[in-house]
Amino acid sequence: MRNFREIINKGIDMIYPESLYCICCGNIVDKTRTYSLCDHCNGHIRWAEVKTCKKCGKLLEESYENELCTNCLENQHLFEKGFTCSEYGLYERTVTFNFKYNGKTYISRDMAKAMNDRMALEDVIFDYVVPVPMFKEKENKRGYNQSFLLAKYFVLNFESKKNADESQKPILADALLRLKDTKPMRGLGPIERKENINNMFAVKQKWCKLFEGKRILLVDDIYTTGSTADECTKVLSAVGADKVYILTFAAGANRVI
């Protein structure tokens, strides 16, 4: 089944080559369009060009008085710092759903470009890029792990090699394992998310010693409450990782009560 899906995904990449269709609305675009987005969709995406949370990277309103979002004020997150490209609204959701659930794997290339551009603004040094894993049966059914594809193209686009030891792979695709299948995080509240994902990750045995003293860039498609990021950070820190940074394409809005 997985091989069949991989063939289908390669076929989709051939039918929908890079910079031909808007990755959001599907209208035809040319190669001059940033991230293969038409002017309308690009103009409606809320890029992280404004005030952001100093911890998780969520976008903040200019009138918001704190440097931390409400979630980070209430929760002691384990990761060092988070970075995101945009706020998770209607247009951002359309892009990620097209990629994640509609099999349009070619979209990962442009999402990763945006993530590259986001990290180019930051003075962050990391040793390895690690994607958030899917449960193996679910990944086989879908045919791909969206976080791995984002990490893959992020690394391919990453021009500077100063952050990686040339003798080692900068991306460790199978470093983390998801031990059980979990409920979809969509629709779950903060407490339910924590319970849903608690103790669901592990570091693959062969990589444990490699992480000692290393700085890890954890890649995922969306950041919401930080539950997944914290759980991954917990197991990476347990095997000696020095710092864990989080990079996503989009992050949920700051909920001000």
pLDDT at residue 257, rounded to an integer:
65
Handedness of CA 73, 214, 85, 100 (dihedral sign): negative
pLDDT at residue 188, rounded to an integer:
60
Q: Which residue has the higher pLDDT, 150 or 257?
A: 150
Q: Inform me whether the pLDDT recorded for 166 exceeds 70.
A: no
3-state secondary structure the chain: CHHHHHHHHHHHHHHCCCCCECCCCCCECCCCCHHHCCHHHHHHCCECCCCECCCCCCECCCCCCCCCCHHHHHCCCCCCEEEEEEECCHHHHHHHHHHHCCCCCCHHHHHHHHHHHHHHCCCCCCCEEEECCCCHHHHHHHCCCHHHHHHHHHHHHCCCCCCCCCCCCCECCCCEEECCCCCCCCCCCHHHHHHHHCCCEEECHHHCHHHCCCEEEEEEEEECCCHHHHHHHHHHHHCCCCEEEEEEEEECCCCCC
pLDDT at residue 167, rounded to an integer:
46
Per-residue pLDDT of 179-199, as tens digits, reads 887 766 566 666 766 666 778
Supply the mean pLDDT for the chain: 87
- Domain definitions of the chain by residue range: 46-251
Collect all residues with Cβ–Cβ distance below 8 Å to 19 and sequence separation of at least 6: 29, 30, 31, 33, 36
Percent of the chain with pLDDT over 90: 72
Q: Residue 212: how many CA atoms within 13 Å on its side-chain side? A: 5
Instruction: Categorize the per-residue pLDDT at 247 as very low, low, confident or very high, splitting at 50, 70 and 90.
Output: very high
Q: Inform me whether the pLDDT recorded for 5 exceeds 80.
A: no
pLDDT at residue 256, rounded to an integer:
79
Pairing of strands 176-178, 201-203: antiparallel
Rounded Cα gap, residues 110 and 29, in angstroms? 13
pLDDT at residue 17, rounded to an integer:
56
For 46-251, CATH number?
A: 3.40.50.2020
Rounded Cα gap, residues 10 and 26, in angstroms? 19
Given a contact cutoff of 8 angstroms between Cβ atoms, the answer to whether 203 and 232 are in contact is no
Q: Inform me whether the pLDDT recorded for 103 exceeds 70.
A: yes
Per-residue pLDDT of 35-70, as tens digits, reads 999 999 999 999 999 899 999 999 999 999 999 999
pLDDT at residue 92, rounded to an integer:
98
Single-letter amino acid code for the residue at 9: N
Given a contact cutoff of 8 angstroms between Cβ atoms, the answer to whether 219 and 131 are in contact is yes
Instruction: Categorize the per-residue pLDDT at 255 as very low, low, confident or very high, splitting at 50, 70 and 90.
Output: confident
Average pLDDT over residues 168-188: 77
